[in-house]
């Protein structure tokens, strides 16, 4: 059953989500609602031609920093000091770059203008963060997401040159700030770095611990 949201700051039990993870529709992208959603393992994912859709997948694709796998070739990239990584120096540039990068099998972007503004607002409140990767002073990669205490809910990443987004993710994992990174959508390259699926219950347990 898909629930309709109104102005009240409440969400249904995530366990009631559809098979594809869709839980609710409607509401808004206010900071309070977004933070409540992430606290309960829920996130928005929609496009310009749909209402706001809220998901809580039955399985979560996550990366435990302690399980991070860095290939020999990637270690060479990191040791070369080719890239410089910064934190929260260009959040708006990162989210706009993530929205602009073409995605295989997708027509357009789910990072709508409304979505961008909502996460920029969260960044100004100190809850959304970006890791930027620079090469010769040019922004070539990065990622952004929401910090929920010891869990980093990754939203999107981009890379304009090879290995730039991987560098951002490795740097994030090596900060020792988080016990879990939520990667949301399974990909081959994240799997190769150690990411794996866990149950929603296991994910929510980590959020609550």
How far CA 144 is from CA of 49, 94, 169, in Å, comes to: 24, 7, 10
Q: Which two tokens stand for residue 181?
A: 């990174």
Closest alpha carbon to 17 in 206, 200, 182, 202: 200
112 close to 157: Cβ distance less than 8 angstroms: no
Who wins on pLDDT, 110 or 11? 11
Give pTM, 2 decimals: 0.92
pLDDT digits (tens, 9 = 90+) for 131-153: 999 999 999 999 999 999 999 99
Are 46 and 84 contained in the same domain?
A: no
Domain count across the chain: 2
Are 78 and 37 contained in the same domain?
A: no
Are 52 and 83 contained in the same domain?
A: no
Are 46 and 73 contained in the same domain?
A: no
Are 182 and 149 contained in the same domain?
A: yes
pLDDT digits (tens, 9 = 90+) for 45-94: 998 889 999 999 999 999 999 999 999 999 999 999 999 999 999 999 99
Closest alpha carbon to 98 in 145, 51, 61, 138: 145
User: Which of 58, 79, 103 is a domain's end point?
Assistant: 58
Residue 27, helix vs strand vs coil:
coil
Range of the domain at 172: 61-208
User: What is the CATH classification number for the domain harbouring 26?
Assistant: 3.30.70.3550
Are 106 and 162 contained in the same domain?
A: yes
Are 174 and 108 contained in the same domain?
A: yes
Q: Which two tokens stand for residue 47?
A: 């496009």
Are 24 and 76 contained in the same domain?
A: no
DSSP string, 42-76: -EE---TTS--EEE--SEEEEE-GGG----HHHHH
27 close to 44: Cβ distance less than 8 angstroms: no
């Amino acid at each position: 059953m898909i629930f309709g949201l109104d102005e009240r700051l409440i969400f249904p039990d995530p366990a009631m989500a559809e098979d594809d993870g869709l839980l609710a529709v409607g509401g808004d992208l206010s900071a309070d609602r977004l933070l409540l959603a992430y606290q309960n393992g829920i996130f928005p994912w929609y496009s310009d031609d749909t209402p706001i859709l809220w998901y809580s997948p039955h399985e979560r694709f996550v990366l435990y920093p302690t399980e991070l796998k860095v290939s020999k070739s990637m270690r060479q990239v990191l040791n070369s000091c080719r890239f410089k990584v910064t934190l929260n120096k260009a959040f708006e540039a990162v989210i706009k770059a993530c929205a602009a990068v073409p995605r295989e099998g997708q027509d357009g972007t789910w990072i709508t203008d409304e979505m961008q503004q909502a996460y920029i607002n969260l960044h100004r409140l100190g809850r959304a963060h970006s890791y930027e990767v620079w090469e010769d002073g040019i922004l070539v990669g990065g990622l952004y997401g929401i910090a929920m205490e010891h869990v980093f809910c990754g939203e999107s990443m981009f890379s304009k040159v090879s290995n730039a987004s991987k560098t951002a993710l490795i740097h994030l994992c090596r900060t020792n700030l988080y016990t879990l990174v939520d990667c949301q959508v399974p990909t081959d390259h994240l799997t190769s770095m150690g990411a794996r699926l866990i149950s929603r219950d296991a994910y929510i347990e980590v959020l609550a611990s």
